[in-house]
Each structure stands twice: as structure tokens, then as C-alpha cells.
Amino acid sequence: MAGRRRPGLFSLLLTLLALVAGCRTVPAPEPTVIARLEAELGQLLLVGFTGTDAPGNAGVERLLCETRVGGIVLFGRNVVSAEQVGRLTRALAERSAACAGRPLLIAMDAEGGRVMRLSPSAGFSPTLSHQQLGDDNDFTETELEARRIGYMLRDAGVNWNLAPVVDVGYNPANPVIVGLARSFGANPGLVTAQARAYVRGMRQAGVLTALKHFPGHGSSFADSHLGFVDVTKTGNPDVELAPYRALIAEQLADSIMTAHVFNEHLDHHWPATLSRGIVTGLLRRDLGFDGVVVSDDLRMGAIEQHYGIAEAAVRAISAGVDVLVIAQDRLPDGSSAARAALAALRAAIERGRLRAGRVDDALRHVAALKSKLRH
């Protein structure tokens, strides 16, 4: 099967890349340009940490004041109660402002249902899943539920919801989207209409959104959290791109998250997150999206097992991704994944492997997204 052969090919490609890593593909920028970009690179990172408080947390201090990340992503491990998470996000925002002088993106997966970090176990009210909303097919209900979730996020100090899921769930055996009730349905028109209502509800609450997972994860038989995912035989771009095409045209896409899925019909060598043809060619040029493209977590098996953080970071930014998600900063050896990504990006710029213009575009996109934040 193609899915079993492909990781070996990836390993060979990475070996070849390593051999030529020192070769410049474009002229290296001037030292002043390099210095300017290096000072801003942390803005391209959205990183998670362990702990429920910011003061006294060395990992948080390093991320905010040394790496100067552009955003923090929170998970269930960071949430104990409404009072606690509000205190945490205020401290994060204040410390980031003091160290980096910029507003902080504070993100969370708050789709509703099983994928909801503000969960009932932490004292928050239950929420409806995308599947429940799609089954009801009541756009007013979806908009009201999204607005309710949005206000929960606002009260908690979260300004960027990594939702809605616009994967068209037409494979009933899909384990990570359909199996977890994360898709609005199997009909692209229904998914588009439900996502439209969901985004409008979030906007009423003043929370940014992210359409995910581009170009589609609803057809897969595997979970990219666990390892390599090949949708060459199951993916259907005509169906799966429909929600993106419509919502981008309607200016309802604050940001778009990539999927770590491989589709040989779209790129012969790279999964979507690392593919220039998919991110810059398909999403930006063909669909006309000029906003923030955010990766799915680079620590997921589909990426980390085959590329590692450093290579994936450079390849993703080169491909057209603007924000790199690293769900857990601490690596198994105790070092920082964010630092590793940053060092790789710096080296790639200095060697001419990563174009200065591409980094400037990414920084511009991030700044534009932050300008939409309500303070």
C-alpha cells in the first residue's frame, strides 16, 4: 500500500535534504535583514506548556520572554476552573506585553462536544458537538451555540478558537473526525452552511476562528495524531474544498489550519502542512486566501515521527504556513521544541534556504490577525 511505502521515501528525501542543507537556494539576506527577522521569529509560534499558573512557571517565562512566542495554546491540562483559567490567561497576556510589547494570541480547541477544553469536568456547561448541530440542521441553533461557546472563551481570556471543523465527514469509518462527532456532516453544502453560522456566532462574541483541516481529513482511515495518513485513494477535493472556497469568498475565514495528510494527487512528496503546492498553490493562489495559515500540531505522529520539529518548521514556513503549532514545548529530553524550531528557522534564513520575503509575509499575516483582537 502507498501508505506503507511512503515513510521510507520521506526518510530518503530528508537524507538528501540534510546533505544539501548548507547549500543556498536563494541569496542570503543582508545582516540587517537577518537581525530584524530573527527578532520577530517567535511571532510565528503557537506553543503549549504544562501547568495551570504562569507566575513561577519557568517554561512559560522562557516562551514569553526569551522565545517571545506570538501565541499560547491551552489544553485540558491547563484548565482547572473558570476562575483559575481566567487568572492564567490574564497573567500570560500581561507577561507577554511586558516582554514582547505585543498582544498575545491565546488559542484553544473549543469545537464543542468531546473536543472542548473548557469541559464540564472543570465546571463549564456542556456543549453540542458539530455532529449534533449538523444533525439538527438548525442554523439559528448553531449560531447561538457558537456564540455561547464564544462568550465562554472570552470570559476565560481565550481570543482564538481553533474551530470550526469543516472536514466533510463522508467516510463513516474515519476515526478522528467522524468517529469523534467533529464533522457537521457528509454533505459539503450542509458543512458550509453550518460552519458559516458557527463563525458568525463566534464573531458576535469577538473570538477569532480557524477553519480546519485543509485540504480535508474527513476521508481518512487513520489518525494523523498517531502517524502517517495517506488519503490518495479516499480524498475528494471537489467535495472537501467546497466549504473553504465558499467561506473564503464570503470573508468568513479568519485563519485556516492545515492537515498532516498526504495526497499524491495534490503533492507527490509532502503532506499538506509541508507542501508548497498545497498551501501556497492551492490555498493561497487558487482559492485566494491571504490570511493566516496555521499548522496542525507539529508534535503529532504524522510529522514528528518522519521529519522532526526542526525540519518540519522550516519546511512548513517555506510552504506558506504562517503559524506553527507546538502543542507541548517540552521534548522527551527536557529541551524546548520551540527553541529547536526557532534555531532551525534562523539557520535556514542565514543560509538562504528560507526566503526573507516569505518570513515577512508570515509576520504580516500574524500582525493582521492580531489587529482583529478585541482588547
User: Catalytic site residues?
Assistant: 296
Cis peptide, bond prior to residue 271, ω within 30 of zero? no
